Amino acid sequence: MSTYSKEHIDFLKEKRKEKRLILFFQIAIIVFFLLLWEGASRLGVINTFLSSSPSGIIKTMISLFQDGSLISHILITTYETLLSFFLATIIGFIVATILWYSKIVAKIIDPYLTILNSLPKVALGPLIIIWVGASIHSIIFMALLISTFITIINIYNGFRETDENYIRLLKSFGAKKRQIFLKVVIPSNYHTLINTLKINISMSFIGVIMGELLVSKQGLGYLIMYGSQVFNINLVITAVFILGLLSYLMYFSISKLECLIKK
């Protein structure tokens, strides 16, 4: 016999129905867009030389897969993105923790964080190549420049906005700052940390692609750059399409992590 009330069961059914409806329309929008795009290209409404087509993308993907380069390019970009993501998350969390622990340090560093975050990272590309070298290190460095400062700012703002009443309560019981941080600040900011991860994975992707456009000889960013140089729009849009899929898969993984934490 179910331990849930009828009202609760009805509520769960309604939530499942809502999720299915949302998923249906999400898929329907994509399918409709692809069919419209393919139909317009076949009827000559759009110039496939300039805008490609879904069938052209599929043919390009098959060609890349057959010559053995597709998986290699995907793995290279995925590796660089995940490495940048984890490094930026760890660095961002550590720095944000230091800033929370010391208000003086936070006040000193705050204007520099704002300045560094607002710098146009693309303009620093030539300098990064000179400093780090034309290698994967430049790509990782570019991605870290883009994602780390945003990570620090988001996490620190979350820590700083923790409910002061909880902190005062623990202080009244003689809790140390480390205990307050572990028992109040971290649990109160699970949502902030997850949202920061979602933003960070997007920023890491952007940084990696920008780095690959500058120095890489492999990866999806390289395919975009090479395709634009030889005016192969099919190759460019295929790389962009695969990037979109990778980005969604990583975002979906973080969303699943969020569901597990809530449980």
Query: Does residue 164 sit in the same domain as residue 185?
Result: yes
Q: What is the pLDDT at residue 255? A: 83
Are 209 and 224 spatial neighbours (Cβ–Cβ below 8 Å)?
yes
Query: Does residue 41 sit in the same domain as residue 138?
Result: no
> What global pTM score does this model have?
0.83
Q: Is residue 184 part of a domain?
A: yes
**pLDDT digits over 11-48, tens only?**
777 778 888 888 889 899 999 999 999 898 888 888 88
Q: What is the 3-state secondary structure (H, E, C) of 16-82?
A: HHHHHHHHHHHHHHHHHHHHHHHHHHHCCCCCHHHHCCHHHHHHHHHHHHHCCCHHHHHHHHHHHHH
Residue labelled with tokens 């560093």: 109
User: What residues contact residue 257 under an 8 Å CB cut-off, 6+ apart?
Assistant: 194, 197
Residues 185 and 109: their CA atoms lie apart, in Å, by 21
Query: Does residue 165 sit in the same domain as residue 89?
Result: yes
Query: Does residue 103 sit in the same domain as residue 189?
Result: yes
Query: Does residue 17 sit in the same domain as residue 104?
Result: no
Q: Is residue 51 part of a domain?
A: no
Torsions phi, psi of 110, nearest 5? -50, -50
Q: Is residue 256 part of a domain?
A: yes
Q: What is the pLDDT at residue 4? A: 63
Chunked into runs of 10 residues, the chain (263 residues) has average pLDDT values of 64 80 89 91 84 87 88 91 93 93 88 84 80 84 90 91 82 82 86 89 89 85 88 90 89 82 65
Residues 181 and 163: their CA atoms lie apart, in Å, by 12
**Angle between helical axes of 136-160 and 125-132 (0-180°, round to 10):** 110
The pair of structure tokens assigned to 122 is 């693309």
Are 143 and 82 spatial neighbours (Cβ–Cβ below 8 Å)?
no
- Domain ranges, residue 22: 1-46
Are 220 and 212 spatial neighbours (Cβ–Cβ below 8 Å)?
yes
Number of domains in the chain: 2
Q: Is 241 helix (H, G, I), strand (E, B) or coil?
A: helix
Torsions phi, psi of 134, nearest 5? -80, 75
Q: What is the pLDDT at residue 1? A: 44
Q: Is residue 17 part of a domain?
A: yes
Residues 239 and 28: their CA atoms lie apart, in Å, by 23
CATH of the domain at 69: 1.10.3720.10
